[in-house]
Amino acid sequence: MAGFFDTKIEFLKGVGPQKAALINKELNIFTYGELLQHYPFRYEDRTKFWKIRELSADLENVQIIAKIKKVELVSMGNKNRLVAHVADETGEMELTWFKGIQWVQKKLPVGAVFIFLGKPALFGRKWSIAHPEMEPVTAANEHRNNFQPVYSTTEKLRNRFLDSRGISKIMEGLVQGSLPHIQETIPDSIREQYQLIGRQESIRQIHFPSEPNLLQRARKRLKFEEFFYLQLRLLKMKVTRTEKYRGQILGNTELLTEFYNNHIPFELTNAQKRVIRESFMDMKSGKQMNRLIQGDVGSGKTMVAFICALIAISSGAQTCLMAPTEILANQHYEGLKEYADMMGIKIALLTGSSKKAQRRVIHEELLSGELKILIGTHALLEDIVQFQNLGLAIVDEQHRFGVAQRAKLWAKNETFIPHVLVMTATPIPRTLAMTLYGDLDVSVIDELPAGRKPIQTVHRYDKDRLKVFGFINEEIKKGRQVYIVYPLIEESETLDLKNVMDGYESISRAFPNYPVSIVNGSMKADAKDYEMQRFVKGETKIMVATTVIEVGVNVPNASVMIIENAERFGLSQLHQLRGRVGRGAEQSYCVLMSKYELSKDSRVRLDTMVRTNDGFEIADVDLRLRGPGDLMGTQQSGITDLLIADLSKDAPILTLARDAAQQVLANDPDLSLPENASILRQIRQQKKHAVNWSRIS
């Protein structure tokens, strides 16, 4: 049976070797099965016929029924065009062709009545359609009640009569021939539960819808199927991993209790408590933890990390925390050292700029087990860094770490792979998280500590700069500090530097009485650090910087964030930058500066920032603007394989499909029950195809 769908398309009626080769090349489609899944990307409503008098310029494609009055060849210079004058009972109009004139001319006998389709345009006082689709009126098509599929195609294919209609013609034969071979891939019980129509019916409706309602149901079913198998694959990967890797049992809460009763500086939020509980369940389970903690900027991920470290330490293991930059590693170290000292726990910092002598001590104390918490940058990954017993590895701001680097962390404990906590402040829409991290467990800190005042965000144009300076001045007088951030200009490092240096100069001139710090990408790490520290200590009032301060830096007294050329930043970056303020008790502000003329997308980004502080809402808009592939910059997890489902629009279906996949695996982890035979067969099919593909490319 499977053989049918592997048939080469050249054997299809109306295709043949030459067209097949072109389709192979242009659409990357080789087999019946692949062509069958070349779904229409939209449908044209062919239920409506327009009268010539009703036409207007804002209409897209319209259908009219008209009688041919006269056909003439019009010459302009050395160019010919064919003009057909047609009429219905409400008026007259013209149809024009610039190409394929001879062929068209033969098809248009004066007096015949045709259905024409195309986009109307007004020339002078006459309506006209260029290169309309056309077909003679018959009893059948005059009263048809259907939606015409529109297939994506290419210029080269169109030149060989494989436009959308041409593809549709081929599809007719293919769908007819395929129906008896199409097997159901979703068990009846699930189809009933989620009210999904059968596979055969879906395939037929998706290509040749008989009514809108059925088309809707066909699309839903095919999207569900796609998500269902994607989720099944991810969930199975997770099950396999948990079975394969045992985890060190870290279940002692002695230190945690002591810290909680005597030292903790604030009440944890409920979300923090929940995430700690979720991680604790994993750490004591005997299975290796792989957990992603998503929490908006300022949601208190560091404290969650520290408490998990305490659990690991009371259970006899060590912990490391890896940050993407030296500044951040420093800040984590400074912050956590205070708590660790209270608890009498030894903690150290290891970065690229650690001195040799310091390193030696660190290496020794790690091996002896005396050093309990090691904080650092990529320097932690070096082979020479060996632990006595690394039980928990925490990675902050994960989007900067690659998979290979995570693997290096895993290798730091030969007996048990360390439990891994990945913390990210880049909110990922739930749909994407479910897909990209479907094999990780995800915890969300969806609550900010009490008493935070929401940051007020405004958008100002460059011409209002003086007013903005006035505002900066007032805030500094009140004792606050201010960030002014310039975009990285990717095309040119020199331009980049010039931009921020010009900014620095004009700021210094505008505020002669306030000391100003500057941090940019071309400064040495220690120079950066020095400037940063001056700002942290409050010695400087204004920090002029490129995006190096984007991640994690914490200066509670800084309450104003000015973002220059805000239209050049992506949404998640804007959100990250804004998250640098609003960390203290004072009202904080974010000012987005931009030029006056903005692209549509830039305007949506800036409006979104002004409207909301909710990282997830922002991430959803980002997903809609940029699409899933671009958002993650990734090919992983098969999100790019989706044919019909759309992560940015079909979240509800994804959720259902994930529930269904979970339910199936919970009842039947090996998929060995007879009722799940269709699932197993489909998975084998897909695997076989994956192999074929890797051979081709």
272 belongs to the binding site for ligand ADP (CB under 6 A) = yes
Rounded least distance, CB 532 to ligand ADP, Å: 16
Residue 503 or 615: the one with the smaller Cβ distance to ligand ADP is 615
Kindly determine how many residues on this chain lie close enough to bind ligand ADP according to the rule CB under 6 A: 16
268 belongs to the binding site for ligand ADP (CB under 6 A) = yes
Rounded least distance, CB 336 to ligand ADP, Å: 10
Find the helix or strand (DSSP H, E) in which 243 lies.
helix 212-244
Instruction: Report the C-alpha gap between 636 and 100 in whole angstroms.
Output: 45
Per partner kind, with CB cut-offs from 5 to 8 A, the member of Mg ion, ligand ADP, none near residue 268 is: ligand ADP
Per-residue tokens: 77: 């210079």
Contact residue for ligand ADP among 540, 554, 594, 676 (CB under 6 A) = 554
Instruction: Report the C-alpha gap between 249 and 246 in whole angstroms.
Output: 9
List the beta bridge partners of residue 114: 66, 136
- Region binding ligand ADP by CB under 6 A among candidate stretches 267-275, 339-347, 482-490, 676-684: 267-275
Rounded least distance, CB 296 to ligand ADP, Å: 7
Residue 148 or 331: the one with the smaller Cβ distance to Mg ion is 331
Tell me which amino acid residue 363 is: H
Footprint (CB under 6 A) of ligand ADP, residues 273-302: 295, 297-302
Find the helix or strand (DSSP H, E) in which 522 lies.
none
449 belongs to the binding site for ligand ADP (CB under 6 A) = yes
Query: DSSP 3-state assignment of 638?
Result: helix
Cα Rg of the chain (Å, integer): 32
Rounded least distance, CB 579 to ligand ADP, Å: 7
> Please, are residues 372 and 319 in contact by the beta-carbon 8 Å criterion?
yes
Footprint (CB under 5 A) of Mg ion, residues 165-204: none
Find the helix or strand (DSSP H, E) in which 66 lies.
strand 62-76
- Region binding ligand ADP by CB under 6 A among candidate stretches 33-41, 96-104, 266-274, 284-292: 266-274
- Region binding ligand ADP by CB under 6 A among candidate stretches 114-122, 264-272, 341-349, 489-497: 264-272
> Among 139, 9, 137, 123, which Cα is nearest to 63's?
137
Rounded least distance, CB 297 to ligand ADP, Å: 4
Rounded least distance, CB 213 to ligand ADP, Å: 47
Contact residue for Mg ion among 503, 552, 579, 582 (CB under 5 A) = 552
Q: Who's near 503: CB < 8 A, 6+ residues apart? A: 484, 486, 544, 564
613 belongs to the binding site for ligand ADP (CB under 6 A) = no
> Among 530, 449, 517, which Cα is nearest to 270's?
449
- Region binding Mg ion by CB under 5 A among candidate stretches 215-223, 248-256, 490-498, 552-560: 552-560
152 DSSP 8-state letter? -
State which residue has the least CB distance to Mg ion. Answer: 552
Contact residue for ligand ADP among 219, 291, 583, 605 (CB under 6 A) = 583
303 belongs to the binding site for ligand ADP (CB under 6 A) = yes
Residue 291 or 541: the one with the smaller Cβ distance to Mg ion is 291
CA distances (Å), 503 to each of 508, 509, 511, 519, in order?
8, 10, 12, 12
> Please, are residues 247 and 416 in contact by the beta-carbon 8 Å criterion?
yes
Residue 335 or 538: the one with the smaller Cβ distance to Mg ion is 335
Return phi, psi of residue 322, to 5°: -110, 130
Query: DSSP 3-state assignment of 45?
Result: strand
98 DSSP 8-state letter? S
Binding-site ranges for Mg ion (CB under 5 A): 552
Binding-site ranges for ligand ADP (CB under 6 A): 266, 268-269, 272, 295, 297-303, 425, 449, 554, 583
